[in-house]
Every structure is written in structure tokens, then in C-alpha cells.
Copies of this chain bind each other. A is one copy, B any other.
Amino acid sequence: MSTIQQVASLAKVSVATVSRVINNSAGVSEKTRQKVEQAIERLKYQPNAMGTFLRKDKTNMILVLVHSVDNPFFSMIIQGIENIAHHNNYNVLICTTYGDRSREQHYVKMLRNHYVDGMILISNTLTLDEINELNTNYPLVQVIEYLPESKAPYYSVDFYQASYDLMEHLISSGCKNIAYVHTGSTQIISHLEKYRAYIDVLTKHNLPILSKTNEEYNFGFISAKSVAALLLDENPQIDGFFATSDLIAIGIIDELQTRKKRIPEDIKVVGFDNTIFSSIYNPAITTVELNTYELGCKSMELLLNKIEKLEKDIKKDHVLPYQIIVKDSSQK
């Protein structure tokens, strides 16, 4: 491994000149530039990024804290983030927590240690105090999931209204006994808002509340299947399922098919997120498009603003539109 020193010696110039050549700074004569470039070539010199980082106090890396990525829902957000990041010469460090708080703390430490210039939280278990503290000291953006009371800005979707629309769709399709199924954390805003809409719509129509959640995520599918089984055992009259994700919907449908129920004739099912799963499954699943790629792009743009302090007063709440996508699983 050669250093800038060795290049300077070989080219018979100072390290300053070599640095200028590397960074394409103005004020280097063509002759010198070529000498230096030849030396770089001969030594196969590669700048040591750590020297640069230390000197500049900037790594051009940002960290994305996410539960897991083995789900097109999250990976689309990340692709949006990466798109904007790469166009602005930033690298994206994907860090998966799998809900483990110690892993999460470990990654947060990377922000504190100047490993990265900023952080995007997709789904996290940080407390309100932690987020507020981090937000005052470091560039921080929340996307999809967020703490509404926190001071950190976020990009998300109106989960309440989307769920309201979905519920009205189920009811207008003839459902009278609609069950709500959620697996994974019950602290997240998306679930809370979906559930709130579920309750409100049922109350408005004077229909019974039939809901069950399971803190275990288990890729959504596994937990959902058993939750659906319990619900159906206790409430054989169920004729509609509101699932908080496409994967949960698939778990429910799998259980229904085991019980020889026809979908949508006997029971209708709706999911959320419009992932590839809702298209490849049989039947295709009614769902909600959240424009996750766009959300990723926007949140990265916001983070860049914070890092490079382009704007002083950054708006805190950003809500992007959604679209209800009706497919086979809930047709009349």
C-alpha cells in the first residue's frame, strides 16, 4: 500500500501537489499533472479514505436503520434513498436491527462516532428522548414509521385515511364481520393509525370489532396464519380480513384455503404496501400503494439538506399520497 508521500517522492513534487492532482484542484500545470499521474499509476496508489475523513470530518456516508431488508417494502425505500445518495456522492450503509435493541444502539453509536454524516430511521425502537437528543446533535430523518411527538422531521403516509378507505371498500363489498390482523411491534405509528381507522369505521357502521395482534413478526406470514386460525375458531361468522401488510394477508389466505374457504366469494381480504407479494399471490391481493421509492428519495433529500445545512427551517411533517389498489381478493 503506497501513500501520498511515496507518490510525491517518485514524481519529485510535494504532497500538496499530489493532493491537488487527486482532487482535480485548479492551478496545476499540465506537465506536473502528468508526472504525478504516472507516479500514481506506477505505484498503483489508492488514497486512504481514513486520512481524508479525519481531515475533512466528513465521510459522505449515511446510515439507514431498518428492522430487516428481506422484504420488498423496505428494499424499495432503500433503493430510493440510494438513488438520491449516489447522485450526491454519498454512500448508504444499510443496518438491520431485527428489532434487537443492542444492535440498534450499536449502530446509533456509529452516528455519534462520526462514522457517518447522518441517519435515516425506517423502523426503530428508539425512545422519544433518544430521538430528540439525536436530532438536536446529528442530522436525522424518519421515514414511514415515526414518533409524532418527536422533533425529528419525517416523511410518511396518511395511514389513517388509507385504512379508512380500505375499510369502507370492504363494507361496500358486503362485509359485515371484519377482523383486523397485525403481527410485529404494536408500538409503531402505522399500526396505531390503521387500528384507529378500523375502529372508527366499524363504530360508524355499527359493526362488531374483531381484532388480534401478535408481537412476533416471523416474516409476517407465519404469525398471521396462526392468528387467523384463532380468530376463525372463535368467530366463524368472519367475512372480511383487514391485514396490516401483504405478507400478513398471505398468511391469512393460506389459513382460509386450508379451511376450504373461497376468496373473495366467502371471505374478502385486503393487505397493505402493494409489494410484489400482492401480485404474485393467488388470488392477487387488494392493497395500498405507498410510493415507497418516492418516500425514500424524499427522505434522503431532506437528510442532505440537514447535513449540508442548505435550508434553515426544515418543515417537520411530510405526508405523501397513497393509492388503493383493488385486486381479486376483495372483488364483490
Q: Give A residues with C-beta under 8 Å from B.
A: 1, 46-51, 53-54, 57, 59, 68-72, 74-76, 82, 86, 91, 93-94, 96, 103, 109-110, 112-115, 219, 221, 250-251, 254, 257, 276, 280-282
Contact = CB atoms under 8 A, between A and B. Distances in A.
A71 B72 CA distance: 8
A59 B50 contact: yes
B276 A219 contact: yes
B49 A113 contact: yes
B114 A50 contact: yes
Contact of A114 (B49, B69, B221): B49
Contacts of A54: 48, 50-51, 53-54
Which residue of A49, A50, A59, A219 has the most chain B CB atoms within 10 A of its CB atom? A50
Contacts of A110: 49, 91
Q: Ordered nearest first, which 9 A-B pairs have the shortest CB separation?
A: A70-B75, A49-B113, A50-B54, A46-B112, A50-B53, A94-B94, A48-B114, A70-B72, A69-B69
Task: State the number of copies, please.
Answer: 2
A53 B280 CA distance: 46
Contacts of A49: 110, 113-115
A207 to B, nearest CB: 30
Contact of A280 (B94, B115, B250): B250
Contact of A48 (B71, B113, B280): B113
Nearest to A115: B49
Nearest to A69: B69
Nearest to A1: B114
Given A46-B113, A70-B74, 11 more contacts: A46-B112, A48-B57, A48-B113, A50-B59, A70-B71, A70-B72, A72-B219, A91-B110, A219-B276, A221-B280, A281-B281
Given A48-B114, A70-B69, A110-B49, A280 B257 contact: no
